[in-house]
Each structure stands twice: as C-alpha cells, then as structure tokens.
C-alpha cells in the first residue's frame, strides 16, 4: 500500500515520501520495514507536559509557535504549543513559558536530525520522544 501511494504521489509530482512512526520500542517491525524501503529518520517530535501559568503571554523570543487543539486522535486534555521554528536550545524555556501562559498543556518540538545540541537540552528538560518522521526521495520508494 505504501509503495502504491508513493507511485501515485510520484506521478502527481511529489518529490519526498514522509512516514511517521512511533519510537523504536513501540514498533520495531514498522521501523525495520521503513528502513528496508530506504527511508531514514529525518526528524523527531519531542513532547513535554506544561503546567498552565495564566498571565500575559510573552513574546515569541527565539522561536515561532502555534497554540491550538491537538488532532482528535491524540487528546492531551487541552491545547498544545507546537514549535514552528526554534533558533536553538536557549529558546526552549521561552517556548515553555509562552505555551504555559497561553494555557497549552503540552509543548511539541519537531527537531530535524543532526541537531544534537537541541536534542541534549530537550532530554535534560524532561522532553520525551513521541514520534520519528522518516523520509526518502519519492522515486526511490515508488520504484521498489
């Protein structure tokens, strides 16, 4: 099914296939399948619960974020704060304060692979890896 979707997407002009998977310990067979098809981890999504801190919502300093409802299949009990841009690890406390003041219950930080500086601070600040985003050139996947 994935290969057929890739074939149709390639015919429509798509250039990159992206597949989301849970962490290693959640679904090893799916990860092995994706690796076998030539997909590699391109990004990770990290999450951390936030305690609401009503008050003035601070400016977005060193990041851009969106606060809104989570998808219906995932309901953390309130709005989430999704980082759209994070300039570096020093921006994480600002993101968290922003999300808490905006009454978000969860901070979500998408992180491209290779950002070990940010990854280390995410771990130190109590974030957990929620999902991995695999990618490959669509023509590679469509040809298999």
Is residue 63 scored above 70 in pLDDT?
yes
pLDDT band per the 50, 70, 90 thresholds, residue 144: low
pLDDT digits over 38-52, tens only? Answer: 899 999 999 999 998
Confidence at residue 31, expressed as pLDDT on a 0 to 100 scale: 87
d(CA 141, CA 137): 7
C-beta separation of 89 from 125 below 8 A: no
Neighbours of 90 (CB within 10 A): 14
Mean pLDDT over the full length of the chain: 91
Tokens of 93: 């406390």
Indicate the pTM of the whole model: 0.86
d(CA 93, CA 87): 12
Work out whether strand 40-49 and strand 128-137 pair parallel, antiparallel, or are unpaired: antiparallel
pLDDT digits over 92-117, tens only? Answer: 999 999 999 999 999 999 999 999 99
Confidence at residue 1, expressed as pLDDT on a 0 to 100 scale: 86
pLDDT band per the 50, 70, 90 thresholds, residue 29: confident
Is residue 23 scored above 90 in pLDDT?
no
pLDDT band per the 50, 70, 90 thresholds, residue 143: confident
């Amino acid at each position: 099914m994935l290969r057929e979707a890739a074939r149709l997407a390639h015919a429509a002009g798509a250039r990159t296939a992206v597949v989301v998977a849970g962490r290693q310990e959640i679904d090893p067979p799916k990860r092995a399948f994706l690796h076998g098809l030539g997909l590699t981890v391109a990004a990770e999504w990290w999450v951390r619960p936030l305690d609401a801190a009503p008050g003035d919502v601070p400016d977005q300093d060193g990041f851009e974020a969106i606060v809104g409802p989570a998808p219906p299949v995932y309901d953390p009990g309130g709005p989430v704060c999704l980082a759209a841009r994070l300039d570096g690890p020093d921006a994480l406390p600002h993101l968290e304060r922003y999300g808490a003041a905006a009454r978000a219950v969860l901070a979500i930080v998408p992180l491209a692979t290779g950002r070990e500086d940010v990854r280390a601070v995410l771990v130190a600040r109590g974030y957990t890896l929620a999902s991995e985003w695999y990618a490959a050139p669509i023509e590679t996947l469509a040809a298999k």
